[in-house]
Chain A
């Protein structure tokens, strides 16, 4: 039986550490949330005149927030779904090949490209006067730039989704490969086959469940990240609906001060959603290590 107590909890250094953690890790976020909350109820703010629920009501009624929420969820969800599928497929099909040094290095290269560069690149490729458009012209499929389909700043968020996929898939691929090795899915698959399952059954009943079981928290995390993405939808998104972060910033930074509070309403709702998601995701995560 090893029940251990921390040696130096009564240490002054530990206490200072906690104060610091509270100051830097907790206080700013609480302050930001409280400020946004107060602003949304009209209690602070240059153009505001006291407690009112009008901003909450008008945000709800205008539907802009709901549209943005649904839009963001669909875009993020689609991107995650496709990325997970591609990454899983690559993991299962090419696991051995990906250990080759050139491929192993190539897999890490996309990590060097941040969102803003990826968005810029996608724009360069998919815009009406972009690279693909010129290729289409060279093949004679179009005669003017205008004829090239809307792939960026479009209602189907094609550019945004493509960029999200290109950013998230490499991370997921590396993650899945790692988990595959650590959980010894290879051996589990062989075991499954020796118990009579065919390849198809092994994949769906053993390999995939094991990998997903270990990674669903991280996948959920990436979904939340995409939900609150800023740079990519800023460059590749359209006027309306917009993804949540872009909407929030646009509302908060606008010149019409009387409408500022609506931006904070959305900020408050967004924070509540993210917090709830975080609590759900991580309280389910089992991080207790049991000693034998």
Chain B
């Protein structure tokens, strides 16, 4: 019966979606899981207890990632908001918007490789600040594109309206534009946070292994074939996005154009 197959198919789809999370969680709590066993020899909290220890460095990585991503998100969102206004109101809006897409499309890792010479010269190589700057340069175009749909004839009219009612630019922003943009600001914040949070290639090049974000840690564990800690770091990596999804899935969905 048609209704039945649809139900089973969708149920299977849900299981398919949840499976990676379950598997990674399982793997993170496992140890000595050798071929051909279908179930690990050890299953418990031992790995997770190591998270707080300085040996794995996972807590510090988590904090480094959080710090960098939070800064990147804050700066990109607010600076992007104001500058996208200048672009949207500019007579050459189309050309400039085209230019904005270009950094967004270029693979961050290639960009980082070509830019490392300059980072070295500026003393930003291998430092969290350097990683922050590099990630900002990648998240900023995204914010510009994101807010480009906000500014238009309507916002221009609001600004003019506030002017004729006696308000200056600052009041227009504080009393009208920022409140209206509130939802978009929040969404952009979380989107740029995730762009930075998930970043690996660029971080590995500019950070040169010295700035150990969570993604770097995942890769290190994979290289060492330490799959249990690898899964653990994956779980830590996925934790914030899943929480965000639970609170409001809009924060994570990317509505580009």
> Which residues of A are at the interface with B, using a C-beta cutoff of 8 A?
2, 4, 6-9, 11, 13-14, 17-18, 20-21, 24-26, 28-29, 31-33, 35-36, 44, 93-94, 97, 102-118, 120-121, 123-125, 129, 131, 133-135, 137-138, 145, 171, 174, 178, 217-218, 221, 224-225, 228-231, 234-235, 244-245, 248-249, 252-253, 263-264, 267, 270-271, 274-275, 277-279, 282-283, 285, 287, 289, 291
Residues in B neighbouring A11, C-beta threshold 8 A: 169
A287 to B34, CA, bound (A): 56
Residues in A neighbouring B101, C-beta threshold 8 A: 278, 282
A234 to B107, CA, bound (A): 14
Residues in A neighbouring B37, C-beta threshold 8 A: 134
A117 to B241, CA, bound (A): 13
Contact A7 B255 (CB under 8 A): no
> Which residues of B are at the interface with A, using a C-beta cutoff of 8 A?
6, 10, 13-14, 17-18, 20-21, 23-24, 27, 34-38, 79, 82-83, 85-87, 89-90, 94, 96-103, 105-107, 109-111, 113-115, 117-118, 136-137, 140-141, 144, 152-153, 156-157, 159-160, 163, 169, 197-198, 200-201, 205, 215, 218-219, 222, 227, 230-231, 234, 237-238, 241-242, 244-245, 249, 252-257
Contact B83 A35 (CB under 8 A): no
Contact A117 B110 (CB under 8 A): no
Contact B17 A112 (CB under 8 A): no
State which of A13, A109, A120 has its C-beta within 8 Å of the C-beta of B21.
Answer: A109
A116 to B65, CA, bound (A): 15
A8 to B97, CA, bound (A): 19
Contact B86 A18 (CB under 8 A): yes
Contact A7 B159 (CB under 8 A): yes
Residues in B neighbouring A248, C-beta threshold 8 A: 109-110, 113
Residues in A neighbouring B13, C-beta threshold 8 A: 103, 106
Contact A112 B242 (CB under 8 A): yes
Smallest CB-CB A-B distances: 6 pairs:
A228-B107, A114-B198, A112-B241, A32-B114, A6-B89, A17-B86
Given A21-B83, A278-B101, 13 more A-B residue pairs with CB atoms under 8 Å apart are: A7-B156, A17-B83, A17-B85, A18-B86, A21-B96, A28-B118, A112-B241, A117-B20, A120-B230, A231-B219, A270-B107, A274-B107, A282-B98
Contact B18 A245 (CB under 8 A): no
Contact A113 B107 (CB under 8 A): no
Known: A18-B86, A102-B14, A108-B245. A29 touches B102 (CB 8 A): yes
State which of A35, A104, A271 has its C-beta within 8 Å of the C-beta of B115.
Answer: A35
CB-CB nearest in chain A for B253: A174
Contact B153 A137 (CB under 8 A): no
B214 to chain A, nearest CB (A): 10
A28 to B141, CA, bound (A): 12
A271 to B140, CA, bound (A): 19
Residues in A neighbouring B38, C-beta threshold 8 A: 134-135, 138
A40 to B115, CA, bound (A): 14
Contact B200 A231 (CB under 8 A): yes
Contact A97 B115 (CB under 8 A): no
29 contacts between A and B (CB under 8 A): A17-B82, A17-B83, A18-B83, A20-B79, A25-B103, A25-B140, A25-B141, A28-B137, A32-B118, A35-B114, A94-B6, A105-B249, A107-B17, A108-B253, A109-B18, A110-B17, A112-B238, A112-B241, A116-B215, A117-B237, A124-B23, A124-B27, A133-B36, A134-B35, A248-B110, A248-B113, A274-B107, A275-B102, A279-B98
Residues in A neighbouring B89, C-beta threshold 8 A: 6, 9, 14
Contact B107 A230 (CB under 8 A): yes
A175 to chain B, nearest CB (A): 8
A55 to chain B, nearest CB (A): 15
Contact B117 A106 (CB under 8 A): no
A9 to chain B, nearest CB (A): 7
Contact A28 B115 (CB under 8 A): yes
A249 to B201, CA, bound (A): 9
CB-CB nearest in chain A for B205: A249
A135 to B89, CA, bound (A): 60
Contact B106 A117 (CB under 8 A): no
Residues in B neighbouring A134, C-beta threshold 8 A: 35-38
